[in-house]
Amino acid sequence: MSLQNPSLSDSVHIAILASILSLIIYWLIRDNRRVRNLSGKHVFITGCDTGLGNSLAKWLDKRGFCVIAACSTVKGGQELRACSSLLLKTVKLNLADPNSIARAVVFVTEETAGKGLFGLVSNAEGTAPVAPTDWLRIEDFHSALGVGLLGLIEITLKLLPLLKKAEGRVVNLINAKGLMAFVGAGYSMFKWGMEAFSDTLRREMQHFGVKVSVVEHSFFKAGVATSDVIERDLLRLWNRLTPEIRDSYGEKYFVEYIKAQRSSVKRLCDSDISKVIKCLEHALMAKYPRTRYGAGWDAKLFWLFLSYAPSFLSDVLLCMMFPAPAATGRSGPGVLINI
């Protein structure tokens, strides 16, 4: 039996390590390259009344971009303009109204004045209640898919000619429900739909120099409904349930479910939205933006892990976060895991 030459084996190992190191260095250098002459480029952002969209609009305005901020209310636009430079423009946008979308597209076309659109940041949140699926009606799914998903797709399609002209980029903000579906099926469908649309768009638009990125972020206090809003929705849904469904869950379930939601908001919602801003900064300013960004520890670790974990494991962990209905015969609520 012949023995392998030790020196040859060592040389192969060294060559492999050197290749890996070279790839890492190349990626770091490439990842840090920035687009030049960004001042004066136009970026259109949806959902700028409050939260992440509002903060991003202010930040990009300070960096010299010509920001076009879409707000759902006149008041939201006025308040944003009051604390921004004269370069920032606002437009009223209702993603559920095709006429409103058309007017916004005309406004963006006029503002860009033949230069094209450098960036489109989609930041709309769906309005589906966060509740057990059989508490919902088909109208609750329409509100998430119609306003959140189809509205964003429609305005993206209509702005594609301007994005192609500027060889710009699209950045879609998607929270952890785009990684793992749990509670509120309509809302999760909206986020999963945005993931699928982003993947398809990225592959097709690369031929035209348009780059598409997804920012998968944690739940942030500035970007989700407060506990009071969630609890008000839950009470409304509970009161409209049929006696049969309500009895199958039980009054104790309702009380424990509200406690679980309150605990989840408190533990999962981060107040530091700068983590998302940093990802958006790179997606808009990097010469080679990444396909996906993770913002927040739970998006990078917990939800990403669950999305790849075996279904039986993710089912067990998620079920532990919420109580059990009375009809299951279990005497106590589920264990509220502290993540």
Residue 48 inside a domain? The answer is yes
* Distances, alpha carbon 253 to alpha carbons 236, 290, 323, 327, 332, in Å: 15, 43, 6, 10, 9
Residue 277 inside a domain? The answer is yes
Active-site annotation holds for 187:
yes
Residue 246 inside a domain? The answer is no
Residue 249 inside a domain? The answer is no
Q: How confident is the model at residue 1 (pLDDT cuts 50, 70, 90)?
A: very low
Q: How many CA atoms lie within 13 A of 150 on its CB side?
A: 11
User: What tens digit of pLDDT does each residue of 41-80 get?
Assistant: 999 999 898 888 898 899 999 988 999 999 989 999 999 9
| Mean pLDDT, rounded, for 17-28 | 87
Looking at the 3D structure of the chain, how many domains does it have? 1
What is the reported pLDDT for 277? 86
Q: For residue 226, what are its two tokens?
A: 């407060």
What is the average pLDDT score of the chain? Answer: 82
Q: How many CA atoms lie within 13 A of 110 on its CB side?
A: 9
Q: How confident is the model at residue 337 (pLDDT cuts 50, 70, 90)?
A: very low
- Say if residues 119 and 43 touch (Cβ distance below 8 Å): yes
Residue 51 inside a domain? The answer is yes
Torsion angle defined by CA atoms of residues 255, 261, 267 and 268, in that order, rounded to the nearest 10 degrees:
170
- Say if residues 127 and 145 touch (Cβ distance below 8 Å): no
Q: What is the CATH number of the domain that holds 217?
A: 3.40.50.720
Q: How confident is the model at residue 313 (pLDDT cuts 50, 70, 90)?
A: confident
What string of DSSP letters covers 164-192?
Answer: HHHT-EEEEEEEGGGTS--S-HHHHHHHH
What is the reported pLDDT for 105? 96
Q: How confident is the model at residue 191 (pLDDT cuts 50, 70, 90)?
A: confident
Q: Is the pLDDT of residue 149 over 60?
A: yes
Distance CA 221, CA 301 (A): 19
Q: Is the pLDDT of residue 314 over 60?
A: yes
Its pTM stands at 0.81
Q: Which of 72-86, 97-111, 303-317 has the lowest mean pLDDT?
A: 303-317
Residue 142 inside a domain? The answer is yes
**If you ran DSSP here, which 8-state letter would residue 271 be given?**
S
Provide the residue range defining the domain that includes 191.
Answer: 37-224+270-319
Question: What are the contacts of 298-301 at 24+ separation with CB within 8 A?
Answer: 298/176, 298/218, 298/219, 298/268, 298/339, 299/175, 299/176, 299/179, 299/216, 299/217, 299/218
Residue 262 inside a domain? The answer is no
| Mean pLDDT, rounded, for 28-37 | 83
Q: Which of 184-188, 230-234, 237-241, 306-310 has the lowest mean pLDDT?
A: 184-188
Q: What percent of the chain has pLDDT over 90?
A: 34
Residue 261 inside a domain? The answer is no
What is the reported pLDDT for 188? 77
Distance CA 52, CA 172 (A): 12
Residue with the larger pLDDT of the pair 106 and 278: 106
User: What tens digit of pLDDT does each residue of 123-144 get?
Assistant: 866 556 778 888 888 888 887 7
What is the reported pLDDT for 5? 60
Residue type, 150: L
What is the reported pLDDT for 175? 74
